[in-house]
Amino acid sequence: MGRLLDYFLGKDGTRRLIIKRKDSDAGEAGRALEELRSSLFNDLRSSEGAKRQQQRLCGPSVALTFNFVVSVAIIMANKLVMGKVGFNYPIFLTLIHYISAWFLLAIFKALSLLPVSPPSKSTPFSSLFALGAVMSFSTGLANISLKHNSVGFYQMAKIAVTPTIVLAEFILFTKKVSFNKALSLAVVSVGVAVATVTDLEFNFFGACIALAWIVPSAINKILWSNLQQKGNWTALALMWKTTPTTIFFLLALMPWLDPPGVLSFAWDVNNTSAIAISALLGFLLQWSGALALGATSATSHVVLGQFKTCVILLGGYLIFSSDPGVLSICGAVTALCGMSVYTSLNLQEAKESSKLLPKQNSSLIKTKSNVAVVNLEKLEVKSDTTETVV
């Protein structure tokens, strides 16, 4: 009996050994979890680590899929807000979206979940200010164009964004497009034009707004993509820096472009809930769009928007038995074929660049090793000379 108590009490060391093993296992698991938390926290505390974390968790396919789903959802939400709810104030609705986004980003920053921005010396304030200003014109004019134009004319204006981006990137960054990619983009544009030509209605004021929207939209996408790919900016950090400027310009645009009567709107529970859902989706749309532009390019993001249009048109025809016409169906199919070719060309270029990168690294390593050997030989010669002199 005494021996049994000694065993359970651990006087002979056997039970104490078992408890130590369990404690050590729990300690190792706790240390591993703490190391994981600290690594994630350290990634968020530096702009380089935050960018690597974003690239690791959100690749091109994830970013484009995320943006596609949110884009379709916010179209439905905005149709509900502007149609059934009757909130016909596009600039003020955009302002609500950006104020909500800034409020959510402030919560992330208070909880230390917002990635750190790169040093101010790396990115001039003028670039961030220009991006915020261009973003206000891009999103605000897009909502006004959608309000005053038919869907067909709105899509025709979006088609003009593609050659504008190609021309602007060539002028600003001397970025060239291969003949095959240019041809596939032309096929996409023609297909979307044919698919939406049945809903083409002209409105002079709406046409002026659509033309004024093309250049800010193209520059907005180029700046977002360029700052994330060439700098250490993440999507959330860039949103945090540019959103206040966007809010300021939207406040300036609202009295000029929105109709009067926003203060007399019926802010009941149902209407406010619908606008709140639209605001949340607006934040997700801005975030997903920034992720897509950072992971791909401005041209790919425009092609994704045209892909969304064709999918909605074909989905309505196949699922809801809508009849857009044979011409529109053929145009949508043609556009999808052009998008497939463009995507395959992008993937082929990515594979070729990934194959060239290891060769460049290996040549760089060989060069460094040769330099090290030469330096070592020089040191040996110097040591021999010293011994001779002595």
Task: Write down the pLDDT at residue 195.
Answer: 72
Q: How far is CA 339 from the centre of its chain?
A: 19
Task: Write down the pLDDT at residue 244.
Answer: 94
The one-character DSSP state at 318 is H
CA-CA distances (angstroms) from residue 102 to 240, 262, 272, 288? 7, 22, 19, 15
Please state at what angle helix 179-196 crosses helix 298-318, rounded to 10 degrees. 40
**119 conformational bin, left if phi > 0, alpha if psi -120 to 50, beta if neither:** beta
Contact 113, 160 (CB under 8 A): no
The one-character DSSP state at 120 is T
N residues, the chain? 390
Closest CA to 195 of 288, 91, 310, 298: 310
- Which one-letter amino acid corresponds to residue 222? I
Task: Write down the pLDDT at residue 383.
Answer: 42
Q: Buried b / exposed e across 94-133, counting CB within 10 Å, b at 16+?
A: bbbbbbbbbebbeeeeeeeebbbbbeeeebeeeebebbbb
CA-CA distances (angstroms) from residue 44 to 59, 240, 282, 334? 18, 14, 24, 44
The CA angle 29-32-38, to the nearest 5 degrees, is 140
- How would you write the pLDDT of the chain (390 residues) with one tens digit per residue? 555 545 445 544 444 444 444 445 445 655 555 555 555 555 555 666 666 767 677 777 788 888 888 988 887 788 788 778 888 888 899 999 999 999 999 998 898 888 888 877 778 888 889 999 999 998 888 878 877 777 667 777 777 787 888 888 888 777 777 778 888 888 888 877 777 666 666 678 888 888 888 889 888 888 888 888 777 788 888 999 999 999 999 999 888 888 888 888 888 888 889 899 999 999 998 888 888 887 777 777 777 777 777 776 676 667 656 666 777 778 778 887 887 888 777 767 766 765 654 444 444 445 444 544 445 444 444 444 333 333
**Distance between CA atoms of residues 8 and 355, nearest Å:** 63
What are the extents of the domains in the chain? Answer: 60-111+120-351
**Distance between CA atoms of residues 306 and 342, nearest Å:** 13
**Distance between CA atoms of residues 89 and 109, nearest Å:** 30
Q: How far is CA 253 from the centre of its chain?
A: 25
